[in-house]
């Protein structure tokens, strides 16, 4: 099966089984897509609001107060828990979508994996977390930049119209670029590694090395698979989210003016657009995942029977 045939097979499989979009959406939201669908419609807190929430007595002459330390510990614990839960849910989606793409495999490997689901999901989660090491390093390197930019905007801001978070990101564009590149690298390594583990049962260290081997052996199709998936998600998700953002501003305006009929209509239109954006994100995420699965299956010399055109003669 050629790479173009794999792209068509991924789309045809979604046409045959549109329910896979729900699995793709679950994996997309679990790995951070939820922030994309929520943050644009949330009012970012101001420095004054953050200060009131933390409390004026959180910093004393002897250092941070006990309340502030507990608050920071709770925030870190929530972030770690969210990362762990999202990784586990995303691993379930990885396994389900790879199984759908694998389809015609007759080796019996999938049936053996069903008997130890917990072990497989745990290994996939570990692979995904280890693949985030570049992101952790990039964040550790850029933490000082972000801290300095935040301090500068709090003490001597250039303007107060733009939210604080956006002003800090604008001041640290190079650090943001490095973090984004590290995240893309982690997505590439983690996505290819989990599929090789599901296909071959590779040990975790070997599975993490497989993406580099694929880059050496099949550089064009390996990179094309990742780039096509990333671009497809960006092109498919960004416009609907921008439309939802505009519609949400209309909802706020209708509520502010006190027009009940206009408010109900604006809310209905916004919910319809937001739901459609979720469905599009699920379809594209599922297609991207199955395209990556087909690339790994092609590298292993296995073309599922499901990928063959229905009109092809039996002799083929």
DSSP letter for each residue of 144-186: HHHHHHHHHHHHS-S-SSS-HHHHHHHHTHHHHHHHHHHHHHH
20 pLDDT more than 70:
yes
Helix ranges, the chain (H): 3-16, 20-28, 34-38, 47-54, 66-102, 109-114, 117-131, 133-155, 164-171, 173-200, 204-217, 219-257, 260-299
Mean pLDDT of all residues in 188-204: 89
Lowest-pLDDT range of 42-56, 67-81, 124-138, 193-207: 42-56
List the structure tokens of 165: 């978070």
Domain-embedded: residue 310:
no
- The 10s digit of each residue's pLDDT in 209-251 is 999 998 898 889 999 999 999 999 999 999 998 898 888 888 8
* pLDDT value of residue 5: 87
Residue 107 lies in a domain: yes
Q: Give 60 or 306, the one with higher predicted confidence.
A: 60
CA 88 to chain centre: 13
Model confidence at 106, pLDDT cuts 50, 70, 90, reads very low
Residues 214/226, Cβ–Cβ less than 8 Å = no
Residue 224 resides in a domain: yes
Structure tokens at 51: 């200060």
Pairing of strands 59-60, 63-64: antiparallel
Residue 213 is assigned to a structural domain of this protein = yes
Instruction: Tell me the residue range of the domain where 181 lies.
Output: 3-54+66-300
**Between 59 and 299, whose confidence is greater?**
299
Q: Predicted confidence band at 157 (pLDDT cuts at 50, 70, 90)?
A: confident
Residue 307 forms part of a structural domain: no
Q: What is the pLDDT of residue 314?
A: 39
Query: Which conformational region is residue 103 in: left (phi greater than 0), alpha (psi within -120 to 50 degrees), or beta?
Result: left
Read off the pLDDT band of 171 (50, 70, 90): confident
Question: How does DSSP assign 254-287, residue by residue?
Answer: HHHHT-HHHHHHHHHHHHHHHHHHHHHHHHHHHH
Q: What is the pLDDT of residue 305?
A: 47
Residue-averaged pLDDT of the chain: 82
Classify residue 312: in a domain, yes or no.
no
Q: Residue 301 has what pLDDT?
A: 62
Predicted local distance difference test score (pLDDT) of residue 307: 46
Most distant CA atoms of the chain, gap in Å: 83
Alpha-carbon distance 184 to 216, whole Å? 18
pTM over 0.85: no
% of the chain surpassing 90 pLDDT: 29
Residue 304's closest CA among 98, 120, 115, 15? 98
Total of domains in the chain: 1
Residue 166 inside a domain? The answer is yes
pLDDT of residue 113: 47
């Amino acid at each position: 099966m050629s790479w173009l045939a794999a792209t068509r097979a991924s789309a045809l499989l979604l046409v045959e089984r549109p329910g896979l979009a729900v699995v793709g959406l679950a994996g997309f939201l679990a790995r951070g897509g939820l922030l994309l669908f929520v943050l644009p419609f949330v009012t970012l807190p101001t420095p004054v609001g953050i200060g009131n929430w933390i409390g004026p007595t959180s910093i004393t002459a002897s250092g941070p107060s006990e309340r502030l330390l507990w608050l920071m510990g709770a925030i870190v614990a929530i972030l770690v828990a969210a990362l762990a839960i999202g990784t586990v849910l995303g691993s379930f989606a990885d396994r389900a979508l790879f199984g759908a793409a694998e389809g015609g495999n007759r080796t019996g490997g999938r049936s053996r994996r069903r008997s130890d689901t917990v072990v497989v999901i745990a290994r996939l989660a570990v692979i995904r977390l280890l693949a985030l090491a570049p992101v952790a390093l990039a964040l550790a390197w850029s933490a000082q930049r972000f801290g300095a930019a935040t301090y500068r905007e709090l003490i001597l801001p250039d303007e107060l119209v733009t939210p604080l978070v956006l002003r800090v990101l604008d001041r640290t564009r190079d650090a943001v670029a490095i973090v984004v590149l590290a995240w893309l690298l982690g997505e590439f390594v983690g996505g290819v590694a989990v599929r090789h583990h599901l296909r071959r049962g590779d040990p975790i260290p070997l599975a993490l090395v497989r993406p580099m081997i694929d880059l050496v052996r099949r550089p064009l199709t390996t990179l094309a698979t990742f780039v096509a998936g990333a671009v497809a998600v960006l092109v498919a998700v960004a416009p609907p989210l921008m439309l939802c953002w505009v519609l949400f501003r209309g909802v706020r305006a209708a509520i502010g003016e006190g027009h009940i009929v206009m408010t109900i209509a604006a809310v209905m239109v916004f919910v319809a657009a937001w739901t459609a954006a979720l469905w599009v994100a699920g379809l594209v995420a599922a297609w991207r995942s199955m395209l990556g699965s087909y690339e790994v299956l092609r590298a292993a010399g296995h073309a599922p029977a499901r990928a063959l055109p229905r009109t092809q003669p039996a002799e083929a």
